[in-house]
Chains A and B, each alone.
Chain A
Amino acid sequence: MVGLISKFMKSEHWEYLRDESRSIGEADSISFPRTEEELEKIVKVLAAEQIPITVQGARTGLTGGAVPYGGHVINLSKMNRITGLRYDHGRFLLRVQPGILLVEVRKALENMQFDTTLWSQESVDALELLKQSGPQFFSPDPTEASASIGGMINCNASGARSYHYGPTRNHIESVKVLLTDGSSLSLVRGKHRTIDGQFRVASEAGNELSGTLPLYKMPDVKNASGYYLKPDMDLLDIFIGSEGTLGIVTEAELSLLPAPAAIWGVTVFLPNQDSALRFVRAVRGEQVDGIRQSDIQLPVAIEFFDARALELLRKEREHNAAFGQLQEIKSHYHTAVYVEFHGDNDMQATEWILSLGDLITSCGGDETDTWVAQNPRDMEKLQFFRHAIPESVNMLIDQRRNTEPFLTKLGTDMAVPDQHLTSMFELYDRRLAETGLEAVVFGHIGNNHVHVNILPRSLEDYQRGKELYLDWAQEAVSAGGTVSAEHGIGKLKTAFLAVMYGEEGLQKMREVKRLFDPKGLLSPGNMFSPVQQER
């Protein structure tokens, strides 16, 4: 046991104090369990001594969810195996440990190469069937492919393609969860459900856990804020998006989909923002100017890059050799929209692209101002362009931190219902103009979910930006939206959760927390600010 828990040595373990939010925490001890048995032992010791536990995956989160607030860090990076495969009702379900990275899952599926040494015969048989069935994929696609599956489950991660395929939640068939009292729950979709909020489930050891989940109204948009609560729901959904506050996911089954034969992407440049927003609405099938395009294929992803983001890239492309291979962003390109199609063959994709051209023209654009990718190599170029924007933002902020070390970017993550898309943009533009703050806007516009990245030049800017962010959060909520659509609440956005659900809602979340983690040991500071939790 002594060997499993190590004293936290800042000199050696410093990286485990931080995540991609760039905030830094503190811890007294750390462990790297390799198996469920080791994990159970560690949790038992910690729970007995009432030591707070922060669970970590790959630390790619943007809200500080994996940053420890004292106590112990359980880092799951060594529980990273693919443990089996199942074929059920026409679907393949891949069983993985939480520490495995998305990129590793993708690679294994692409190459159909799995270490089956410890697999059951059923899994080996299913693998044979998989090989005969042709390529399959796991659809969630957060920008950071080095995210861990456990992390993705815990913040219900999504990405560009979630517009069509939905977030991580939709692709998790079962989870195994370890609670701080030492019990382990295996929860399967469709099998373990709540009825009027009530649930009753037996742990692996045979103990019964029962209770009543409270209820509140969740926004009807893409959402990663607070616990998932519905009157009749699958019990595993309470753990998906729970940010490590209820239990530790020790295993999960990923539901796979047949991989599309043709993946085509198009970046479309429009002459102004208005035209771009009209194009977005038209391409997702809305009526624009009284006309609905009926022959348009729905894309699997719709992404947006505003004029300020393109200008930032133009500058980076000139000065930074790393961006030298970016396509030329011509001076008349004002606003960009990326759409992606998944089809059965290239011929079908070509037809879709050509009718997309007509749609561009009808929205005031020119089909010459497009970049089309028809193969994986060219798709990489379009992805490079998409990823270059957040990267440029980070580089710019790093530069400014040289003179003002406390500056960080302020990245919003709000989503609103379809009918509020245009008004939300008007609000962003108006308030940015009024305050004179520098910002770039990009992201998942298909779900009315763009990230406004405020780029403060000074601490005054930073303070003003924070106020602006809170204003926008309130506006998004009153429009029926969410304060966080994909990054989660973590430790950085707890104030926004209160805006969204009010004190009553937070109280209900605390009830949920008490049901599964009565001593409040798990992931202190996530979702609830520590003060609120003590109350």
Chain B
Amino acid sequence: MSTLQIIACVKQVPASTEVKLNKETNTLIREGVEAIINPFDTYAIEEAVRLKQQHGGKVTALSMGIPSVAELLKQTVALGVDEAVLLSDRRFAGADSLATAWALAGGVRQTGAFDLVICGKQATDGDTAQVGPSLAEKLGIPHTTYVRSIEHVDEKLIRCIRLTDDGQETIEMTLPALITVVKDINVPRLPSIRGIRQAQSAPVKLLTADDVNADEKRIGLKGSPTQVVKTFIPAQTTESELFTGTPTEQAKQLVAKLVARRLVQEGEADGRD
């Protein structure tokens, strides 16, 4: 088959898994938290690099963000990405998932012909899982989400297995197409020293809104219909209680609770091992 032109989308997120909120403003505290590549996107990059190694071709990593994201994009070069492209322009700032999709669509078109776009299933900061599917719509190509393995790719189609709530299903799509991937799909490699050495001199292609002929009404804050009216920490609806004491004491406390809530009857709890 012919070689594959693959685009992997990448987002910068805070490294910390423990999200801290500013209690006064209800916004995420980002200061002092190291930035990393969205962990789900590392699976997208890995899958793209593996496909390239199997079928030949080229992998482009594409991101939208502040200029410092270029450093993170260089890390993807150390992993086997051939070209890194960053959409960076003040006019892109303040984008919601829709405006992000429009901007990325411009970036994808700018890179030329492509066969496959791979995104992580969602970003660990926003958790919307919307940008991937939304991007496919803007590009006018088929897409599927939560892909756990790619069974087959040729010049015309891709067949993959995606996770569903009940199990999994096999989806076949014509190329070009977009998939979003879950953790099960692979084990992302770590960079080698050789990779890091190569990445040192790798250029990151910077694209502005003009470079991708972006419609200003569709990007950045202007292009974002989403309005954050209020953010809040959801009220705790479940209670948890920690039993202490010896295992026997804890078991007794547990039984008493279950009986009190009528989840078991007294007789059931007694005398049985």
Contacts and interface: CB of A to CB of B under 8 A. Distances in A.
A266 B192 CA distance: 9
Contacts of B36: 375, 377
A370 B34 contact: no
B205 interface: no
A11 interface: yes
A375 B34 contact: yes
A372 B193 contact: yes
Contacts of A357: 193-194, 197
Interface in A367-392: 367-378, 381-382
Q: Is chain B's interface secondary structure helix, strand, loop, or mixed overall?
A: helix
Contacts of A373: 190
A49 interface: no
B196 A353 contact: yes
Interface string B56-79: 000000000000000000010010
B190 A367 contact: no
Contacts of B187: 324-328
Contact of A376 (B34, B191, B196): B34
Nearest to B78: A372
B112 interface: no
B39 A354 contact: no
A372 B191 contact: yes
Contacts of B39: 377
Contacts of B34: 375-376
B246 interface: yes
Given A325-B187, A374-B75, A377-B15, A12 B196 contact: no
B247 interface: yes
Interface in A330-378: 350, 353-354, 356-357, 360, 366-378
B202 to A, nearest CB: 13
Interface string A314-334: 000000000011111000000
B189 interface: yes
A367 B15 contact: no
Contacts of A354: 193, 196-197, 200
Interface string B26-39: 00000000101001
A367 B246 contact: no
A13 interface: yes
Nearest to A13: B246
Binding site of A, secondary structure by majority: helix, strand, loop or mixed? mixed
Contacts of A328: 187, 189
B194 A378 contact: no
Contacts of B240: none
Given A374-B75, A375-B15, A375-B36, A368 B247 contact: no
Contacts of A327: 187, 189-190
B248 interface: yes
Interface in B153-192: 187, 189-192
B192 A372 contact: yes
A350 B246 contact: no
Interface residues of A, number: 31
Contacts of B197: 354, 357, 367
B193 A12 contact: no
Nearest to A9: B246
B192 A368 contact: yes
Interface string A119-162: 00000000000000000000000000000000000000000000
Interface string B19-57: 000000000000000101001000000000000000000
A391 to B, nearest CB: 18
A34 B45 CA distance: 52
Which of B75, B193, B246 has the most CB atoms of chain A within a 10 A radius of its CB? B193
Contacts of A360: 193
A325 B190 CA distance: 12
Contacts of B249: 12
Contacts of A375: 15, 34, 36
A9 B249 CA distance: 13
Interface string B128-166: 000000000000000000000000000000000000000
Given A325-B187, A377-B39, A367 B248 contact: no
Given A325-B187, A376-B34, A353 B193 contact: yes
Contacts of A367: 192-194, 197
A376 B15 contact: yes
Interface string B206-226: 000000000000000000000
A328 B249 CA distance: 46
A356 B193 contact: yes
Contact of A368 (B15, B194, B248): B194
A12 B247 contact: yes
Contacts of A326: 187
B190 A372 contact: yes
B247 A370 contact: no
A378 B190 contact: yes
Contact of A371 (B192, B200, B247): B192
A368 to B, nearest CB: 4
B193 A370 contact: yes
Contacts of A377: 15, 36, 39
Interface in A1-39: 9, 11-13
A357 to B, nearest CB: 4
22 contacts: A12-B246, A12-B247, A326-B187, A327-B190, A328-B187, A328-B189, A350-B200, A360-B193, A367-B193, A367-B194, A367-B197, A368-B195, A370-B194, A371-B189, A371-B190, A372-B192, A374-B191, A375-B15, A376-B15, A376-B34, A381-B190, A382-B190
Interface of A: 9, 11-13, 266, 324-328, 350, 353-354, 356-357, 360, 366-378, 381-382
Given A367-B192, A373-B190, 11 more contacts: A12-B246, A12-B248, A327-B189, A328-B187, A370-B193, A371-B191, A372-B193, A374-B75, A374-B191, A376-B34, A381-B190
